[in-house]
Structure 1
């Protein structure tokens, strides 16, 4: 700093660490990368639903259908399981997860993005068979429903309609990107 009046930070990262957004290219080679996803897909109204679940417990269609506020077409759906508070603990990778039927239900509801406070909406590591292929990711991304993982502070908005801003880095051709996620309660 004394020789030059500026700082320059070098950054190297895996784009699927910390809070991030998955692009369809994450599982589909011909799917759009982060730079090809219109901003309208990452901003807008949605809901934060609170679902109290235990270690390795499934989130099913009935859980989503009964959620308040009701999930509407075009919504961004954030699922608050309370798991973000377990970051850094042995339980972190034994999180609640979406059933395949629940993922398809979200597609059928025409949501545009699903956000979770866990490492993934798919099965936790301990429950995965040897030939695990991330079926929840595939169902959602195949139909253009974006995924955001490792969201913090959802408890502040639980049970409310909110306006979301998912702000991932627009990395050319990339399968995902670190993101800043902002939300505010709608009046």
Structure 2
């Protein structure tokens, strides 16, 4: 069996880049081989760190948790499309419509923006990064895709988050004037709603959204693959870290068993 398996997740570790909020991820060693004969690490931190999957409950009250995604949404065939973006670039319906390979109904979709190469504890990646807008998320819902992952900082554009004047923000108020100066528009003109893409995708469409896709993403860009991304079976969870696998069969000989 000549399957090739690719990892599309960033490496999880204590000092990994984190979306600008609190608290950070903290790892402490509770037990040591030399002292205790076993090795044990204590983990503390919120779930929205590194490559992770959000649930509707993260952004809207009284909606499904991470365990509520049906299993058929978490694996299946789909595409990795290249939609390169620069500072504050927007992933639009037009981008998705023109993407190659073509995004088909029922596909898993991974979007390579190029920003996974910039994954770091920097404003360049987080505050000045790119993201999809509400209209783009609606396009994916109307296309009836299974699952979506983004090679950038979040399921939403940074200007649609609390970094500016949305929700709990602005946590980085300087971005408001910078955006006005660069674009000639108020951020609320272009992104009037708080995390509109999150809500359209997950709450409106029931589609899992994965943030900070990376790893071997370039190696499968432009290909159709089989994907697996399994979050925790966690009752009440609003999100969690996830390992994404992209699988291709160069020889075309692999077949699933019938189960009989």
* Fold match (TM-score > 0.5): yes
Quick one: distance in 2 between partners of 1:109 and 1:95?
25
Residue 60 of structure 1 aligns with which residue?
92
From 144, 158, 169, give the equivalent of 2:206.
144
Within-5 A mapping of 1:3-18? 4-18=36-50
Q: Is the 8 A contact 1:104 1:139 kept in 2?
A: yes
Q: Quote the Cα distance in structure 2 between the aligned partners of 1:98 and 1:186.
A: 30
Q: Distance in 2 between matches of 1:33 and 1:14?
A: 15
The answer to whether the aligner puts 1:42 opposite 2:63 as a matched pair is no
Residue 149 (structure 2) pairs with residue 115 (structure 1): yes
**1:70 aligns to what?**
102
- d(CA) in 1 for partners of 2:218 and 2:34? 44
Aligned length: 187
Counterpart in the other structure of 1:135:
196
The separation in 2 between residues aligned to 1:121 and 1:39, in whole angstroms, is 21
Determine the C-alpha separation between the residues in 2 that align with 1:7 and 1:129: 43
Contact 1:80 1:117 in 2 (8 A): yes
Instruction: State the distance in 1 between where 2:36 and 2:101 align.
Output: 54
14 and 112 in structure 1: CA distance in 2 versus 1, 3 angstrom threshold: same
Deviation at 1:186, TM superposition (A): 4.7
Who is 1:90 aligned against? 123
Alpha-carbon distance, 1:18 to partner: 0.3
Structure 1 residue 29, shift from structure 2 partner:
2.2
1:163 and 1:186 in contact (8 A); partners too? no
Say what the alpha-carbon RMSD is for the aligned residues. 1.9
CA apart distance, 1:126: 8.8
Structure 2 unaligned blocks of 5 or more = 1-32, 167-192, 251-260
**Which has the larger Rg?**
2
Inter-partner Cα distance in structure 2 for 1:16 and 1:172 = 16
Worse-matched range after superposition: 123-132 or 12-21: 123-132
1:45 and 1:30 map into 2 onto residues whose CA distance is 31
